[in-house]
Amino acid sequence: MFTTLYTMTLISSKSLTLPEFLSLTPPDGDITYELVDGEAIPKMSPKFFHSRLTGALFLLLDRWNQGRGEVGIEWAIVLSKNDRDWCPVPDLLYISPERLGDITLTDEACPVPPELVIEIISPEQSFSSLSEKAVDYLKAGVSRVPGD
């Protein structure tokens, strides 16, 4: 893991633009990165209960959705934070067909702010950091963040 973080630090030693971040090939390993203040930041790796909760919430949202919009798990979103590119990867998100409009989805980061973003707090994460991220989501145009 040290090698992975070290490699990403070398890759991102300069401030990354959104296109540069999206074109990065992550080093070996199953690590998800978010673009924050021009840096590729590794996201905490989900553990068992986090994974189970994500799955249960996905099933509930997908059943409620009934194919009318998009429910995504760990789908990167192209947003802006403090006038800089921001590309967070929430645990779950929902986007209505109205918000998507005529956008054709491809295998890329989500191009519009979703109506709903769910971030599941990890034991290693502080509540204040999660609260700050929720505020950032709302300022970036996300309609709802549970706990906001």
Q: Which of 47-51, 83-87, 134-138 has the lowest mean pLDDT?
A: 47-51
Is 88 a residue whose pLDDT tops 50?
A: yes
Q: Select 43-139's CATH number: 3.20.20.70, 3.90.1570.10, 3.40.50.1100, 3.30.70.20.
A: 3.90.1570.10
Q: Is the pLDDT of residue 121 over 70?
A: yes
Confidence of residue 28 (pLDDT cuts 50, 70, 90): low
Q: How far apart are CA 24 and CA 55, in angstroms?
A: 28
Backbone angles phi, psi at 2, to 5 degrees: -60, -45
3-state secondary structure of 87: strand
The most distant pair of C-alpha atoms in the chain lies apart, rounded to whole Å, by 44
**Do β-strands 39-42 and 33-36 pair in parallel, antiparallel, or remain unpaired?**
antiparallel
Question: Could you give the CA distance from residue 110 to residue 22 in angstroms, rounded to a whole number?
Answer: 12
pLDDT at 29: 64
Return the domain boundaries, the chain.
43-139
| Distances in whole angstroms, Cα of residue 98 to Cα of each of 40, 107, 114, 138, 140 | 31, 20, 11, 19, 18
Cβ-Cβ contacts under 8 Å for 113 (sequence gap 6 or more): 77, 79, 99, 137, 140, 141, 142, 143
pLDDT tier at 136, thresholds 50, 70, 90: very high
In the predicted model, is pLDDT for residue 1 greater than 50?
Answer: no
